Structures are given as structure tokens and as C-alpha cells.
């Protein structure tokens, strides 16, 4: 059966005890840590840098880390996050003057490369970079802050991009980020997502095991549907 990946976004975590908070969500069944990097320039918020990731690796956080760079410029941060321990590094087309070269630089640094498309970003750019991609991220909120509502038009975009990947010869994961809750996660998975970024729905819960178990049950039902189809 299809295996979906749950990626808690630490933007919603308790930064006073970040290492322990991350260990708890991983113990509760999460797969990937989603690491939101904001520069108060490309997006109107300021978060964390490579030193935090390096510290988490030293704290024995060994799970895959998906670094989402919401910065402009972005190029100089790529080798820093790669050295700090990133597994995936994703960038926005608007953050670089040459997206193809930037994606190749990510791979040259030893990480899997990805592009992030905002709700108002055209998907046409994918036609020229599929060979450089390991991951496509569709933002289902406008980037900058956690806790926003899912933008429903993402469903059509998600289905279209999924079909585009399936029609290509490339093995590219499809991730959705923003506004994912228990009530809509199954529909998002069924529409084509492979990785589901979940922030406040997990970290605002008092019981990580309970909420991640509930998410996993919903995703398992979707897997059975897909397998049946």
C-alpha cells in the first residue's frame, strides 16, 4: 500500500524546548521534520537558521529534515544548511535569478532538491526543471505564518501537478504545506500528496501520540482506497 509521510512543521513547536518537542513528535510516529526558514524579507516573519539545525543534529535528532527556504537571496544559505544536516532543501522560484542552477547547487551539496509554489505562483515553471527535482511543494496557504486556513483551490493544482509527475519519467515526491487538519488531510492525500506538512494541528495538541495516530488512521484508509482503485 502507498505510504504517506507526515512532516510536522516546527514553526508551531515550543521553541523553549525544541529538541524535546521534536523528539516527542518523532516518537509519536512522525516521519520528517519540516524546517521553516524565514528572513523577514521574502516573507513577513523571522525564524531560524542553520545553527539551530546543527544544534538539533547534535541533540541526536536523526530523522530526515526538510528545509524550506523562504528567503531572498537564497543561494548562500544552501551550503550552510546542507552542512548543518539538511536532507531536503526547497526554494521558491521568486527567490533566485536562476532556478535551474540553484536546484543543481542543492544536489551538488548532497541534498535532495525541491521547488515550492505559492498559491499565486504559476506551475508553468515545472516544465523546465523536472529533471532537477526530487520534491515539489505546493503551498496551500500564503507563506509567512502558521495556523492559516487551507486554500481550497489547492486541490485542483494538486491533482494537475500529480498527473504531470505521473506522466513524466521522474520520481518526484509531492508535498502539501499549510492549513492541513484532521478534517481535510484524507482529501489532500487522495488528491495526490505524498508528504503532508502538519503544524498547529499537531503541536497545539496536548497529546502528540493521539493526534498523529488519528492522522495515520485516516491516511491508511486513503492507502486502501488507492490500492483498491
Query: Which candidate, 154, 156, 164, 163, places its Cα nearest to that of 129?
Result: 164
Task: State the average pLDDT over residues 169-182.
Answer: 96
Q: 25: cis peptide before it, omega within 30°?
A: no
Query: Which candidate, 133, 127, 139, 125, places its Cα nearest to that of 173?
Result: 133
- Alpha helix (H) ranges present in the chain? 18-27, 50-58, 77-84, 99-108, 154-166, 185-191, 200-203, 208-228
Task: State the average pLDDT over residues 83-110.
Answer: 97
The residue that leads in pLDDT, 143 or 221, is: 221
Does residue 1 carry a pLDDT above 80? no
Task: List, by residue number, the catalytic residues.
Answer: 36, 177
Q: pLDDT-based confidence at 227, cuts 50/70/90?
A: confident
Beta bridge partners of 114: 90, 135
pLDDT at residue 154, rounded to an integer: 96
Task: State the average pLDDT over residues 25-29.
Answer: 98
pLDDT at residue 78, rounded to an integer: 98
Percent of the chain with pLDDT strictly greater than 90:
94
- Sheet with 33-38: list strands edge to edge: 5-8, 195-198, 173-177, 135-139, 112-117, 88-91, 65-70, 33-38
The residue that leads in pLDDT, 44 or 227, is: 44
CA 107 to chain centre: 17
**CA-CA-CA-CA torsion sign (127, 133, 138, 143):** negative
Contact 5, 193 (CB under 8 A): no
pLDDT at residue 148, rounded to an integer: 84
Classify 69 as helix, strand or coil. strand
Q: pLDDT-based confidence at 229, cuts 50/70/90?
A: low
Percent of the chain with pLDDT strictly greater than 70:
100
Classify 71 as helix, strand or coil. coil
Nearest-angstrom CA–CA distance, 38 and 181: 23
Contact 193, 175 (CB under 8 A): yes
> Could you tell me the pTM of the whole model?
0.96
Q: Per residue in 203-219, pLDDT tens? A: 999 999 999 999 999 99
Q: pLDDT-based confidence at 11, cuts 50/70/90?
A: very high
Does residue 57 carry a pLDDT above 70? yes
CA 176 to chain centre: 7
Contact 160, 123 (CB under 8 A): yes
Q: Per residue in 107-162, pLDDT tens? A: 999 999 999 999 999 999 999 999 999 999 999 999 877 778 999 999 999 999 99
pLDDT at residue 136, rounded to an integer: 98
Amino acid at each position: 500500500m502507498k505510504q504517506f509521510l507526515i512532516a510536522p512543521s516546527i514553526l508551531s513547536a515550543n521553541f523553549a524546548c525544541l529538541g524535546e518537542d521534536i523528539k516527542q513528535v518523532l516518537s509519536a510516529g512522525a516521519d520528517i521534520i519540516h524546517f521553516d526558514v524565514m528572513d523577514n524579507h521574502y516573507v513577513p516573519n523571522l525564524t531560524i537558521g542553520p545553527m539551530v539545525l546543527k544544534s538539533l543534529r547534535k541533540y541526536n535528532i536523526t530523522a530526515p529534515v526538510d528545509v524550506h527556504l523562504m528567503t531572498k537571496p537564497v543561494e548562500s544559505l544552501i551550503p550552510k544548511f546542507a552542512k548543518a544536516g539538511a536532507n531536503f532543501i526547497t526554494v521558491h522560484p521568486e527567490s533566485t535569478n536562476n532556478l535551474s542552477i540553484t536546484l543543481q547547487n542543492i544536489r551538488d551539496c548532497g541534498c535532495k532538491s525541491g521547488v515550492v509554489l505559492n498559491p499565486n505562483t504559476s506551475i508553468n515553471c515545472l516544465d523546465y526543471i523536472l529533471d532537477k527535482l526530487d520534491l515539489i511543494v505546493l503551498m496551500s496557504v500564503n507563506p509567512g505564518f502558521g495556523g492559516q486556513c487551507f486554500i481550497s483551490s489547492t486541490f485542483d493544482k494538486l491533482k494537475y501537478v500529480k498527473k504531470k509527475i505521473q506522466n513524466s519519467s521522474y520520481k518526484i515526491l509531492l508535498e502539501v504545506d499549510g492549513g492541513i487538519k484532521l478534517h481535510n488531510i484524507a482529501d489532500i492525500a487522495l488528491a495526490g500528496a505524498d508528504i503532508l506538512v502538519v503544524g498547529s494541528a499537531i503541536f497545539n495538541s496536548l497529546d502528540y501520540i493521539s493526534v498523529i495516530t488519528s492522522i495515520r488512521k485516516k491516511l491508511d484508509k486513503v492507502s486502501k482506497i488507492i490500492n483498491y482503485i
